[in-house]
Chains A and B, each alone.
Chain A
Amino acid sequence: MQLIELHIVQFGQLKQKTFHFGPGLSVIAGENEQGKSTLLNCLKAMFFGFSGTRRSIRDNDRLRYLPWDGTKIAANLIFEHAGIRYRLERVFGKTKASDQCHLMLDTTGKTVELPSLLEVGQALFGVTADEFANTVFIGQLQSPLDGPDDSTLGKLGNLSGALDEKLSYNTLVEKIREAQRSLKLERGVGGLLAELQQKIGQADSDREVAISNESTQQLRITHLNVLTHQVDTIELSKKSLSDRISHLKTQARLQQFERLKARQSEQVELRTKLRRHESLLFVQGQLIGTQALAPIRLQLQAAREAEAKVLSQQQAVEAQRVEKGREEAIIRNFADLEGIDRQVVEQQALRRDTLLSRVKLLKDAQRYQALNDQLLQAKSQLVEREATEKNLQIEIENLPTRAQLDAPFTTQSDAPPAPLKAHRNPFMIVALIFMVLGVLGAIITLPLIGLTLIGVVLAIVAYRQSARDQQATDQVAKQAEAAEIANRAADQANQQRSLLETKLQAAQALTDGARQNLTNLSRQIQDLINEIRPEATAIIPDLTELAEAEREVISLQQTLQNDLTATGCAQLTDLYVRFSQAETLHLSISARANRLAQAIEQQQVLESLAKKHWQELVLSIKPDNGSVDLSSPIAIEAHIDELTKLDIQAEALRDQIKQSESALREATDGLSWPEYVQQLETVAKEGAGLALQDLADLTNLTDRPGFPDTVGTEDLASLEQQNSELSDQIARLHAEISGIRSAIQHSAKMPKMVVEYDTDIRNLRHQLGDAQAYYDGLELARKSFMDAYEELQETFGPVLNEKAAMVLEKLTNGKYHGLKIDRGFNVRVETPEDGRFHEWDYFSGGTVDQIYLALRLAVSDVITAEAQKMPLLLDDIFVQYDDERTLAGLKFLYEKVAAEQGQALLLTSHNRVGEMAETVSPAISVSKFI
């Protein structure tokens, strides 16, 4: 493989730098801190990436070369391998996951796929990063920062022992031993394993104690149960024995009991009877006696009297109720008056009458007005006729004189006034006809008086027309007369006079007629005035009012008629009579209701009083047990009678009981019967184990199965002795049980249950197993290292010896040609002075560096012998060499590279190295690091 060109985009302090590499040995010289080591590390990273994960920058190349400005590491490398020219582009991020790697054919740009997870160096050259670092990549030596393993001597040792200058066999083994020692000390007792075993032993021991304790507890409990069972059994026997004893005792007592039972039963019976009697005599907690019955009877008398008053009052109330009912029946006959208000009817009737009176007044005024008008007309007509008559008379009287005076006017007109006369006559005729008919009518029947009035009116009209016509006629006549007079003068004077006289006669007739008419009218008015009320003459009749009054009268008349029809009355007076009757009845009923209410109230008072009497009486006699019927006075009276009897009987019973008790007490040795029975119960319970409820009925006691019929002949004392012995046994067992219980409760207890110890032991054993397995793993690892070491010894030792010696000889110009690496990988070099082999620490630093380089190159040769040779990357390896050593070294390298047709880059901070290289061979490329 050969490097051709490296372009560093960014790698540590190097930015945008391009380096071209030629074949053979190239020496690149530059000042310190210019980046020579960085360049070599960049080349290493291009092929193998970054592998360290340490946090320290010193131990982590990625951190060391990562730019601080946040940009990424990036570089491109062109190289040739196996005749193919490649281009490798790499970018490194903060983590391996972010790295990018692109390998391609430089000629075509075609991507070359690499096996997964393999670095370029591994894939192409079959060399791991560590191998690379331990062979062709030779860094500076003796850095002051280097640790023991990183010192030249250290590296030399590592290199010889592990073929890896960073791996120290001894250190590795020691680390393993150290880890093993934490688990198990090599000497004595100690370490985690022993600690765990001790804990397990302790837990086992505790567990055994716990098991022992618990087993003892188990035995105690079992024994306790046995004892408890024994106690139960003995108590059962004892109970049986006690029952037998008790039975015997009870039997004896029962015999006496049987005798007394009859008497007691009798006493019980008497008591029962007395209790029954007294149950009725006990009132309000007091026993009623003879003395208490006297006032009760007085109370009874008062109650009875009160009851009689109540009865009387009830009858009175009933009588009132009957009468009230009768009146209410009557009043129902006036039901048709319902809905008719008397006042309304009366007001309506009054209104009707008022209106009728007003109508009459108006009509009278109307009649009076009409007659008065006629009279005035008649008077006027009479005046006119009298004037006409007078005028005619004057005219007649004055006729000769006038004829003379009026002569000039006689030729004024030819036409006589005849038509005027013809017009006047029909009116008068019709008027007269009407008047005649009217007078006749008035005589025959009053209603035809209207005709008369019409006649009068017509007559007046005719008269007025006639008067006007007469005036005109007169004037014309005068004119005519004057003309006649004038024209005819005297010849017609006679004729004129006769005419006027005729007229005068007619006028006089008319005047008479008018006078007569006036007289008639005056008489009629006088008659009317006499007929009507005086005020009728003083008012002017209002026809509208009259019409409205008449309509209202008709309406009222109809309403009243309806009321009458509804009530069946013919007249209002009848209705008024019915109203009066109904009112009278209502008043009567109301008064009776009041009287009835008062009577009822009185009755209630009396009833209350009577009730109070009875209640007080009931309270006085009601037994406290409330079993007697006292719901009626009869029952109360009967009960009072009964009480009297009971009182007498109870007294008798008390005497009997007293006598019986006295006799029984004497028979039971002074014990009362309950005390006697109690005593018997106790004996019976002991003897027969009877339940208390069974003892309640002692009369059946002897019927119980198992109860002795007769008292046996067994020795009661013997039985009681046995019973006592059993009691002693039970007591002893109880004492033993108590002791065991105490032992159980106060027994030593381990802090944990056995199962907990089991768990602890299991966990400890698990831990022990884990630790032991780990220890075994460590031990096996240590053995593997030892075996690996052996393998290296056998495989590489001799070859390494030979090659290293050869290189050293050349590097030292033959001074040191003897170099041996023993089985312990200790490097020894033969000194020419004494021909002896010495350990490396015998030599000077410069010689040690030569030995290191020799060994390193030998290792490189050994390891990479089978693989493609890779360029040697040498970082200032002659830094401690003197010129002689440097020159020898340069010469060796040049020859080696040339012989192998390989490539080597020697970076140096000493210009003299470059200068010396040029002296070795012009083929060596010497350049400045820029």
Chain B
Amino acid sequence: MKDIFRLVQTGDLHLGSPFTFAPNQASLLQKTQIETFWSIIRLCQEQQADALLIAGDFFDQPNPDRALVLAVCEMLNSLTHTRVLIAPGNHDPFGLDSPYRTIEWPESVTIFGEQLDYVEFADHHLRIYGIGFTATVSTRPLLADQAIDLDSDFANVLLIHGDLDGPSEQSPYNALKSADLANKGFDYVAVGHIHEFSGLKIQGQTSLAYAGCPFGRGFDETGSKGVIAGTLQLVPSRLSDLSGQKPRPFSVKISLEFAPLASRQFVDLAVDVTGLTDQQQLADHILAMMGQAGGQHFRDNLYKIRLIGALPEGFSPVLAILEQRLAGQVCYFKIRDNTRRAYQLDRLITEHSLRGAFVRQAQAKIEEARTSKDPNQLAAAELALELGLLVMQGEGITYAAD
């Protein structure tokens, strides 16, 4: 019996995403998605992983481009040691015309369908269960109608896509509860759906984790992205099962870690430009901040730049100029001007005028909001001060959507 089982967990790759927010870069980003997946394949090869778990949303659409699916199959075919298990998610459900059904996948690939099933790794005394979405929603939890009778002689892993411990039990995306899964006796639950690495959650004897997406799809998916990699080890144990069921002669030692992968990142960067006085300074500072945030390969990243801070009267960022000066420096960027005027509030507040009185009143409201610790109220109070000063300067204050 082999006691160490090596696995790599991923999911939410969303291959074939259209990246509509950046049409000029869409092709490059789709290519990056494929490259990221290829790096997962390489990782499996390097680590001689016993299994690659793909926890749903492998593809972005239920019917992705056939050429893309075939390319993925070709990549999977290069695995020499690793079995691949896929639990379809809400983006790529196991529908009737799904490529999971219509295309011949490599022998090493198992795609879980509407029925809970498992793949047994007899040498490791380990079974990996899985079930997939059959439609783009699953208002009823996928496991609700499944008979689950786990064999405690095996380490039992569940691969599933769903909304784990979400805010609403009415989630249309297979609402899952950690406690329920723990009660069913799974040792480890590999979950997909949330695009952020969740860390290893412990619920009773069960560990659960979202790997997150290995490559972000927008500025709401920022930061380092990757996969979960590590081992499951059956360690001999004399402890009896507290539930009164048959005691297991072993315990499962789970050693899983987050492994960063993506070569490009989406970076939401707030750049404080306080004190800068011309466009070139702004451009240089933005570039420097991008370099600081993105490290050595910062030019490969995609940036959402929010200019913040106070600028002196008479100077404001001209986005067209900044975009022209930063063009070609990084893979993609967009800039939002959230700067404000550098008001001398301590002076204005003493002014004997409507302006002074307004500042005093607005500051009082800000203090009041601070006291209340209501962030929305504080934001509104600060915005009110800004808007009041702007309108007194004759600036337009009509709302413009971001």
Q: Which residues of A contact B (CB under 8 A)?
A: 51, 53-54, 95-97, 117-118, 122, 126, 128, 130-131, 134, 161-164, 167, 169, 172, 175-176, 178-179, 182-183, 192, 210-211, 214-215, 217-218, 221-222, 224-225, 741, 744-745, 753-755, 767, 770-771, 773-781, 783-785, 787-789, 791-792, 795-796, 862-863
Contact = CB atoms under 8 A, between A and B. Distances in A.
Contacts, number: 199
B193 to A, nearest CB: 10
A770 B357 contact: no
Given A777-B387, A780-B383, 20 more contacts: A54-B394, A126-B350, A131-B353, A162-B353, A225-B113, A753-B91, A754-B136, A767-B402, A773-B379, A776-B376, A776-B380, A776-B383, A776-B384, A777-B384, A780-B380, A781-B387, A781-B391, A783-B361, A791-B360, A795-B357
Contacts of B348: 128
Contact of B388 (A225, A745, A785): A785
Contact of A225 (B115, B350, B399): B115
A217 B96 CA distance: 10
A755 B136 contact: yes
A754 B172 contact: yes
Which of B347, B381, B386 has the most chain A CB atoms inside 10 A of its CB? B347
Contacts of B392: 167, 172
Contact of B362 (A54, A781, A796): A781
Given A96-B313, A221-B95, A745-B96, A131 B383 contact: no
Nearest to A217: B135
A773 B384 CA distance: 10
Q: Give the interface residue-count category, chain B.
A: 35 or more
Contact of B314 (A53, A178, A774, A862): A53
Contacts of B206: none
B124 interface: no
B381 A175 contact: no
B314 A95 contact: yes
Contacts of B103: none
A54 B394 CA distance: 10
Given A221-B95, A770-B402, A130 B362 contact: no
B296 interface: no
A755 B384 CA distance: 36
B278 interface: yes
Contacts of A97: 277-278, 312, 315
A567 B135 CA distance: 117
Given A164-B354, A787-B361, A221 B383 contact: no
Contacts of A183: 399
B352 interface: yes
Which of A118, A183, A755 has the most chain B CB atoms inside 10 A of its CB? A755
Contacts of B398: 178-179, 182
B147 interface: no
Interface string B291-327: 0000000000000000000001111000000000000
Contact of A773 (B95, B357, B383, B388): B383
A776 B383 CA distance: 9
A775 B365 CA distance: 16
A344 to B, nearest CB: 87
A206 to B, nearest CB: 13
28 contacts: A53-B313, A96-B314, A131-B351, A162-B355, A164-B355, A167-B353, A176-B397, A179-B387, A192-B401, A210-B137, A214-B172, A218-B134, A221-B134, A744-B95, A774-B399, A777-B381, A777-B383, A778-B387, A778-B397, A780-B362, A780-B365, A780-B384, A784-B358, A784-B365, A784-B385, A785-B358, A788-B358, A788-B361
Contact of B351 (A128, A776, A778): A128
B90 A755 contact: yes
A128 B360 contact: no
A164 B135 contact: no
Contact of A130 (B91, B136, B312, B351): B351
A618 B361 CA distance: 126
A745 B98 CA distance: 12
Given A131-B352, A163-B354, A755-B91, A777 B380 contact: yes
A767 B361 contact: no
Nearest to B394: A54
A175 B315 CA distance: 23
Contacts of B352: 131, 163, 796, 862-863
A176 B387 contact: yes
A217 B399 contact: no
A781 B399 contact: no
B109 to A, nearest CB: 20
A773 B362 contact: no
A732 B356 CA distance: 85
A95 B316 CA distance: 12
A486 to B, nearest CB: 162
A163 B353 CA distance: 5
A784 B135 CA distance: 53
A779 B402 CA distance: 20
B383 to A, nearest CB: 3
Interface string B148-182: 00000000000000000000000011000000000
Contacts of B401: 192, 767, 770-771
A351 B334 CA distance: 120
A274 B140 CA distance: 76
Interface string B60-84: 0010000000000000000000000
Contact of A117 (B91, B135, B342): B342
A51 B315 CA distance: 11
Interface string B365-394: 100000000001001111111111001101
B252 to A, nearest CB: 32
Contacts of A767: 401-402
A51 B140 CA distance: 64
B73 to A, nearest CB: 23
A741 B96 CA distance: 8
B344 interface: yes
Contacts of B355: 130, 162, 164, 167
